[in-house]
Amino acid sequence: MDILRASLVLFIGIYFMSGCVDAAYFNVMRYGAAGNGKKDDSEAFLKAWEDTCGAEEPSVMVIPSGRTFLVKPMTFSGPCNSGSTYIQIFGKVIAPEMSSWNDDDDKSWLVFDSINGLTIHGPGQIDGRGSSWWKCRMDHKCSRAPTAFVANNCNHLKIIGVYFVDAPMFHIVINGCDRVAISNIHITAPEESMNTDGIHVGNSRNVYIDHSIIATGDDCISIGDNSSYVFISEITCGPGHGISIGSLGADKSSAAVEMIRVSHCTFIKTMNGARIKTWQGGSGYARNIKFENIYFDSVDNPIIIDQYYCNGDHNCGTHKSAVKVSDVIFKGLRGTSTKEVAINLACSKTVGCTDITLEHIQVKHIEREKNTISNCINAHGISQGPVSPPVPCLS
């Protein structure tokens, strides 16, 4: 699998470079970058980006191999003059130590704003050096930490073959983007690292995420509010909290999520597998969602709809309103659960979940002598084909 993945990345890289034969190249070393992992290379990066973005022809900002570049929080701003702008990462980009951050810039590290036609290509590494941040949050000495990579309002965005490591909080956030392709990336952080989601998609549409390996301390991929036409496939997730729709409806907000497809994914020793999570008191909808052809290996909660989600940071209470969950299909899901309850459909008592379909499901307990069961609260729909464990509330 690793050889196949490496070959695919190499092929994409050759294809990428062949498409840039007539491009203008801007190597950060020519702008004064030291690349020794100690000197601040932020100014060199921004100068190289200014020329890259300002070029009239297709342009490539090059971060060369064999070097480590220390850069402070920065924003790569658009729009750019060319509709084809590339960042080729061969080397390693590292964040400052936590002690070097200012109070005003602790929300994000690398921000890409309003750039259309941007491609960021590996096989280099983006290292958030988040261990100090995780400890600070675990010790309740700080309440938040920076996201490593943020794309705001970037249409026709591609991220290919990049390695993301140890973000202080989220690794990648896609916000307000249309037509995004993320492929053949690796995201890695320790299982105990707090809120280190792999990829979070919000306020975006036409997002494709495939052929990637994600191992973090939170959701491998999470789909937030105002997202639609999100297609996720061939993801290996674990450790982590699974692939989640949500959380939606926090602080009595209204959600709008639809046309989500998750297929041909593998979950290994994750807390959750295929999950939809909403807060009490919210409104709006999550609909037209399909989880298909998924394999679970020792997953705590393989299939779960949780309309009573509360992460402990809020005074959740009990509320009558809820995000409406409907038209959800779980099809061809199989594997093993570490817990007795392998299917948990906990829907709002007042709003409920409708048009829920379970088809060809087989989730066994990891211990062969034990059986799995389902839990079902106010979920309505159908169960067809063999479904194990059975879900009596679905006809």
- Residues tagged active-site: 241
Q: At residue 185, what are phi and psi to the nearest 5 degrees?
A: -105, 160
Residue type (1 letter), 310: C
Bond preceding residue 239 cis, omega within 30 of 0: yes
Query: Within 10 A of 110 (CB to CB), how many other CB atoms are there?
Result: 23
Alpha helix (H) residue ranges in the chain: 2-18, 42-54, 131-138
Cis bond before residue 389 (omega within 30° of 0): yes
Q: Which amino acid is located at 141 in the chain? A: K
Determine contact, residues 379/356, Cβ cutoff 8 Å: yes
Residue where the block lists tokens 């009490």: 280
- What burial letters (b/e) apply to 355-378, b meaning 16+ CB within 10 Å? ebebbbbbbbbeeeeeebebbbbb
| Distance, C-alpha 16 to centroid of its chain | 24
Q: Please, is 234 exposed, middle or buried when counting C-beta atoms within 10 Å of its C-beta (0-12, 13-18, 19+)?
A: middle
What are 180's strand-pairing partners?
157, 207
Distance CA 188, CA 36 (A): 23
Which residues have a Cβ under 8 Å from the Cβ of 281 and sit 6 or more positions away? Answer: 249, 251, 252, 317, 319, 321, 322
* Rg of the chain in Å (alpha carbons): 22
CA dihedral 253, 156, 112, 195 (to 10 degrees): 50
Report residue 64 as tokens: 């060369």
